[in-house]
Chains A and B, each alone.
Chain A
Amino acid sequence: DAKTTQPPSMDCAEGRAANLPCNHSTISGNEYVYWYRQIHSQGPQYIIHGLKNNETNEMASLIITEDRKSSTLILPHATLRDTAVYYCIVRASGYSTLTFGKGTMLLVSP
């Protein structure tokens, strides 16, 4: 699987949009971009995934650049409960293993 690069930490004010970047410059054509998050003392939680089109669900939006070398996870109105480590993972289609990096620690403050 392609390697991803994320900033180690980010801050966001409550109520504002949180934009979490991820670089995956070696991504292959059949590899999807997945986002998970892990709140303290809990297991990772699936957020969203996409191949090349932008995706939106009730939790977040995923914006993938046209060349697919980077993506951004957007939490439109961050709350204190969104404080967590966010993992960006590239995963080949038809292959189920997830390879986690260190992720981005997002701190949402009042």
Chain B
Amino acid sequence: EAGVAQSPRYKIIEKRQSVAFWCNPISGHATLYWYQQILGQGPKLLIQFQNNGVVDDSQLPKDRFSAERLKGVDSTLKIQPAKLEDSAVYLCASSLETGFNQPQHFGDGTRLSIL
């Protein structure tokens, strides 16, 4: 089965610019997650979708970050405007459904560098 697809693989922007990341989850996976991984740390959850509804966005900095999952499949994560501290790898993951101990499957992420 095809894995979680993310693009772009790398992105370099200047502070105050905007950027968007795209994620295509594994086919049939209802739950989709976005994580932020700062260098030297473990991934931190930003937002979780169940189909096209938000389950948890408590860690999402909503003044600058937004995410959507139209039609319950692909998802985009946007940062506007970017700050230096947003430099990180942004990981997308998906699982069959919320709970029931379904493992999450991760993409290889987008590495964002802010100049």
Q: Which residues of A contact B (CB under 8 A)?
A: 32, 34, 41-46, 49, 87, 91, 93-103
CB <8 Å contact, A44 and B98:
no
7 extra A-B contacts, CB within 8 A, seeds A32-B101, A98-B43, A101-B42: A43-B4, A43-B106, A44-B104, A87-B42, A91-B101, A97-B48, A99-B45
Tell me the number of A-to-B contacts counted with CB atoms below 8 Å.
52
**What class of interface size applies to chain B in its complex with A?**
20 to 34
A93 to B48, CA, bound (A): 17
B93 engages A43 (CB within 8 Å): yes
Give complex CA distance A101, B103 in Å. Answer: 17
Would you call B43 and A96 a contact (CB within 8 A)? no
A94-B99, A94-B100, A96-B98 in contact; A46/B105 too (CB < 8 A)?
yes
B112 to chain A, nearest CB (A): 14
Cross-chain contact of A98 among B4, B100, B104, B109 (Cβ < 8 A): B104
Cα distance A101–B108 in the bound complex, in angstroms: 19
Q: Are B107 and A96 within 8 A (Cβ)?
A: no
List A contacts of B100 (CB < 8 A): 94
User: Which listed residue (B31, B42, B48) contacts A100, Cβ 8 A?
Assistant: B42
Contact B4 A102 (CB under 8 A): no
Task: Check A93 against B43 for contact (C-beta < 8 Å).
Answer: no
Cβ-neighbour of A43 out of B48, B91, B95, B98 (below 8 A): B91
B106 touches A44 (CB 8 A): yes
Which of B95, B99, B102 has the most C-beta atoms of chain A within 10 angstroms of its own C-beta?
A: B99
In the bound complex, residues from chain B placing their C-beta under 8 Å from that of A96 are 31, 48, 95, 98-99, 102, 104
